[in-house]
Structure 1
Amino acid sequence: MQERSSVAELAAILRRELDRYSSGEKLPSSRALVEQHRVSPVTVSRALAELVAEGLVVTRPGAGAFRAEPRSEAARPVDTSWQEIALSAEPAGDQVPRSVDASGVVATLATPAPGVIELNGGYLHADLQPERALAAALARAGRRPGAWGRPAVEGVTELRAWFAREIGGPGGALAASDVLVTAGGQNALTAALRALAAPGAPVLVESPTYPGMLAVARASGLRPVPVPMDAEGVRTDLLADAFRATGARLFVCQPLFQNPTGAVLAAERRREVLRVARAAGAFVIEDDFARQLVHADAPAPPPTLMAEDRHGTVVHIRSLTKATSPNLRVGALAARGPVLDRLRAIQVVDTFFVPGPLQEAALELVGSPAWARHLRLIAGELTARRNALAAALHGQLPALVERGYGAGPGSGPIVPPGGFHLWVRLPDGTDEAALTGAALRAGVAVAAGRPYFSAEPPAAHLRLSFAAAAGTAELTEGVRRLRTACAQAGVPTG
């Protein structure tokens, strides 16, 4: 059983058993709970922490855990009706409402209930995370001289140099001084959008695209303008049209293993993206989130757009989080020219700096032999899981597969050579909300496609992750449950 499931189950048991104890009475010791419920000490500690957070239990160092005293009075109701006016009030003019819709992001961050198969996750399953290597790296980092001192706001020099080599490629197109260390990719994306576009400005985005980016853009008062994609990435002819029609000075893209479609931007379109943006006097944010998620049967990925950029057009984003753990929130922003000063200023205002020990741990990890072994491991595992999910869809839900994974109806499936998503187009008229709800009741969590579109979607979709599940058998079972949900929601399956 997964650790988080064990914690939830033990917390539920202890919650029910609290009625056996009077207020202030001592609960069994942690050792007794370990023996009684046959769980680990960590599980006991985390379960008790949940009850403490709920106000049901109090702990006293050296004494143990006790049932909490009942609250003397009920919490007073708070009248927050005024906030509805304050939050909706916008200044005069053409500014875009700075509403925040995090539902698409929360869907991939939320922990599913015990027994629910996670096909909507945004991170590697715990079995694929390099926990031992991370623990060793963190231990070594903590002993480094100066690790606990105040780091430079730009980041640890050696880590910046490592990112520069990774982003710029063997040609040395990038220097350490061109890189800022960030608190993960989302933090880098937020800083880049704020630096490159003023509130109310249009920003061109791929359609579909990552909901977290759309949420950041809208929260910053920007107007996302969709540019359609096909199997070879963004339609560059439509990109040029969009620049002319909107006057935008910014385009955000994921050229490699795009989220959610998995598409890789074709070689001729890579050159065209740079040419079109240059002609428009615009920046390109290259969100390179999945470069370390290449599958074992795929060729080496193309270089970054930044490695081919000779005009300072590209602002590059890279993160270590997707290939390691959601807790290793270390990433990088790379840029050349005056824009780097603006990015640095925003980083300082937002976060001051990324904690030094975390940066040192990241440096220890990527510099160890365990790093290359880990990348080989996940390359093989992701390939096997992708194939298992695709095979299960072909066998149990052929009507969905026939409509294509991302390029449109009748175009055939796109089996991505990297990343960890399949993008499934649903039959016309499908109610996404009804299907995802039925799926959850059937014991499988899937991500609806609507949050991935900045405007009206052309059809209903699902994004299915093959990295967050426990293995190939669980993926197959997840598709079986999805088939059950389709039948309940009236979605054709074959």
Structure 2
Amino acid sequence: MTNDSSIAKIAAILRKEAETRKPGDRLTSSREIMRRHGVSPITVSRALGQLTAEGRVITRPGSGAYVAHPPAHMMDTADLSWQTVALGDRVVDDSAVAALLTPPPDGVIPLTGGYLNPAISPHKQLAAAASRAVRRPDAWTMPPLNGLAELRRWFAAEAGGDVTAADALVVSGGQAALTHAFRALAAPGTPVLVETPTYPGALAAAKAAGLRATAVPTDSDGVRPDLLAEAFAVTGARVFYCQPTLSNPTGATLTHERRQQVLQVVRAAGAFLIEDDFARYLTADPPTPMVAMDPHGTVVHINSLTKVLAPSLRLAAVIARGPAAHRLRAAQLVESFFVARPLQETALEFTGSPAWRRHLTTLHAEITTRRDALATALAARLPEAEVELIPRGGLHLWVRLPPYVNEHALVEAAQRHGVLVSPGRMYYPSEPPGPRIRVTHIAVTHLPELAEGVRRLAQALANTS
């Protein structure tokens, strides 16, 4: 993670520079600031973001940062400190999510991120599907509040079992689904159980909902049912968040037997299991979803199309039954009404076309090639580090570093060497067991770039050891 004091230091330097220049003047380039002060691209980006929020600077992508023209009615920065008292102490921490979504600067290799490189994403086919979708006579009319019936039927069929279209609710992407689920299923101030390590976006959404995330340890087969039962008994929690297939960041997948054990534990606790099935389409052989094994309404299932297709296709489904389903639909309605119909129609067009299966076949082969290339490069260049698991799909490898390595220092050094990796610390709701990093293979354009990124990472490790 980026050090707050470094951000403040760079912000102060740029603030002083802006004060000495005229409106419209260009500030020192980000690359030069990184070179002079030995800071990362993310540090510079966040410092500029701070000055942009203050109204001192405007940024132009691909061009740089410029001194802003002050508003005519306010030449000095207004004192907004009164808001601190009015807002209270409930802070929404977006740092982990922002770090994962921030595009890399020019020349920096992204071994982090959660979306397909544009060269792999089926942009042309999506554009064709969108073109067909918006030509439908009712494309711009209001859709059913819980989503188009055809799309809900499609998500229900993907879930399997006795799930029906009536159980599905279309929402604006997996992250929105998590937000709705946490707020609907648990009261502020109560605990929620999570795998450890786990997806930082889930931790951020739970915290924003006022929940206390409690860690449940995992092994190479996913969450441990014995420790899950103990955690329910100790905390009294009524919600467990789980990624049973290709868990982010470890890549672990629950076996069929363990899925049954986990379901039994959650049901015995009288709790809900939020099944985040984000990686369903990132493997050629996805297991049966836990919702298809659950006749009791224990599982609230989330399936998203965003990761497998494109970041801007913000579309997912939440599958639930009983009062929980009613509460989820009410939450969706009061927060955002419904998902835009053209987006739903586009998803229907694409998943109903031959392009959908062709894309999955191509993607699965690409994932296997990249995963193996990344694992081979790490073994050759970083023999002292250990890939804990070679997953059967997914986008990442979870790497255990030698205990003497300072994880934060390595991530910062890697950024200075021109490669971005994700620090392991942000995947833990409590103290991590040791230094780790998550390394992603899907964000680079091609395999040589992947190999070069690992070479730079090895250089950074050598300089911090």
Q: Same fold by TM (over 0.5)?
A: yes
Report if aligned partners of 1:107, 1:120 keep a CA contact under 8 Å in 2: no
SS in 2 for 1:258: coil
Does residue 488 (structure 1) correspond to residue 463 (structure 2)? The answer is yes
Structure 2 residue matching 1:289: 3-state secondary structure: coil
Candidates 333, 354, 360, aligned match of 1:348: 333
Amino acid aligned to 1:240: A
Does 1:271 pair with 2:260?
A: yes
- Residue 441 of structure 1: aligned partner: 416
Which of 416, 438, 442 in structure 2 is aligned with 1:463?
Answer: 438
For 1:88-131, what per-residue CA distance to the aligned partner results, in whole angstroms no more than 9, with x for missing partners? 44xxxxxxxx3322221111100110010001111000101000
Aligned equivalents of 1:464, 1:56: Cα separation in 2: 29
Task: Quote how far apart the aligned CAs of 1:70 are.
Answer: 6.3
- Would you identify which runs of 4 or more consecutive aligned residues in structure 1 move more than 4 Å? 54-57, 68-74
Is 1:426 the counterpart of 2:401? The answer is yes
Aligned to 2:380: 395
Kindly provide the amino acid, as one letter, of the partner of residue 346 in structure 2: A
Q: Deviations over 1:323-382 (max 9, x none)?
A: 010000010000111211000000001111000001000110100111110011110111
Aligned residue pairs, count: 408
Pairwise CA RMSD: 2.2
SS across alignment from 1:226? strand
Q: Which residue of 1 aligns with 2:448?
A: 473
The DSSP-based 3-state class of the residue aligned with 1:286 is strand
Distance 1:72 1:220 in 2: 36
Structure 2 counterparts to residues 371-386 of structure 1, below 5 A: 371-386=356-371
2:344 matches 1:359: yes
Does the 8 Å contact 1:439/1:481 carry over to 2?
yes
Query: What is the one-letter code of the residue matched to 1:345?
Result: A
Point out where structure 1 has 5 or more consecutive residues left out of the alignment. 1-21, 24-53, 58-67, 90-97, 406-413
Query: Equivalent residue for 1:238?
Result: 227
Tell me by how many angstroms 1:83 deviates.
2.6
| Contact map agreement 1:426 1:462 (CA 8 A) in 2 | yes
Partner amino acid, structure 2, of 1:100: V
Change (3 A) 1:462 1:80: same
1:483 Cα deviation (Å)?
0.6
Partner letter of residue 411 of structure 2? T
Which of the residues 316, 332, 335 maps onto 2:317? 332
Distance in 1 (CA, whole Å) between partners of 2:441 and 2:281 is 16
Distance in 1 separating the partners of 2:403 and 2:295: 44
SS at match of 2:127: helix
Structure 2 letter corresponding to 1:241: E
Q: Secondary structure at the match of 1:312?
A: coil
* 8 Å CA contact retained: 1:277, 1:283: yes
CA distance in 1, matches of 2:68, 2:358: 52
Partner of 2:365, secondary structure, is helix
Partner of 1:122: 114
C-alpha separation between the residues in 2 aligned to 1:56 and 1:101?
23
* Match of residue 5 from structure 1: none
Mapping of 1:163-182 within 5 angstroms? 163-168=155-160, 171=161, 173-182=162-171
C-alpha separation in 2, matches of 1:458 and 1:87:
35
CA deviation profile, 1:429-448 (whole Å, cap 9, x unmatched): 42222111110110100000
**Structure-2 residue corresponding to 1:160:** 152
Displacement after TM superposition at 1:71 (Å): 5.9
CA contact (8 A) 1:257 1:419 kept: yes
Q: Deviations over 1:373-407 (max 9, x none)?
A: 00111101111000110000010101102xx42xx
In structure 2, relative to structure 1, the CA distance for the partners of 1:71 and 1:163 (3 Å cut) is: same
Q: CA deviation at 1:55?
A: 6.7
Query: Relative to structure 1, is the Cα distance of residues 245 and 114 closer, same or farther in structure 2, using a 3 angstrom cutoff?
Result: same
1:209-257 per-position Cα deviation (integer Å, ceiling 9, x unaligned): 0000000111111000000000011011000000000111110000000
User: Contact 1:446–1:463 (CA<8 Å) still a contact in 2?
Assistant: yes
Once the two structures are superposed, what CA deviation does each residue of 1:63-105 show, in whole Å capped at 9, x if it has no partner? xxxxx9966857421112223333344xxxxxxxx33222211
Task: Flag the 1:72–1:359 CA change in 2: closer, same or farther, 3 A.
Answer: closer
Is residue 209 of structure 2 the alignment partner of residue 220 of structure 1?
yes
Q: Displacement of 1:487 after TM fit?
A: 1.4
Give the Å deviation of 1:302. Answer: 1.5
Task: Specify the alignment match of 1:64 in structure 2.
Answer: none
Q: Which amino acid aligns with 1:458?
A: P
Q: Which amino acid aligns with 2:147?
A: G
- The alignment partner of 1:229 has SS state of strand
The residue aligned with 1:289 is 278
Whole-angstrom CA distance in 2 between matches of 1:489 and 1:104: 23
Residue 80 of structure 1: aligned partner: 80
Task: Name which one, 1 or 2, has greater alpha-carbon Rg.
Answer: 1
Residue 229 to residue 351, structure 1, CA distance change in 2 (3 Å)? same
Give me the identity figure in percent: 55
Structure 1: how far apart are the matches of 2:75 and 2:232?
Answer: 54
Q: Say whether residues 1:149 and 2:145 are aligned partners.
A: no
Scaled by the length of structure 1, the TM-score of the pair is 0.79
Q: 1:451 aligns with which of 400, 409, 426?
A: 426
Could you tell which deviates more after superposition, 430-439 or 458-467? 430-439
Contact 1:312 1:335 in 2 (8 A): yes
CA distance in 2, matches of 1:141, 1:266: 39
What is the rounded CA distance, in whole Å, between the counterparts of 1:266 and 1:335 in structure 2? 23
CA distance in 2, matches of 1:243, 1:179: 28
Give the letter aligned to residue 174 of structure 2.
Answer: G
User: Residue 174 and residue 116 in structure 1: after superposition, are their counterparts in 2 closer, same or farther (change >3 A)?
Assistant: same
Describe the shift of the 1:389–1:69 C-alpha distance in structure 2 as closer, same or farther (beyond 3 A). closer
Quick one: which amino acid aligns to residue 152 of structure 1? P
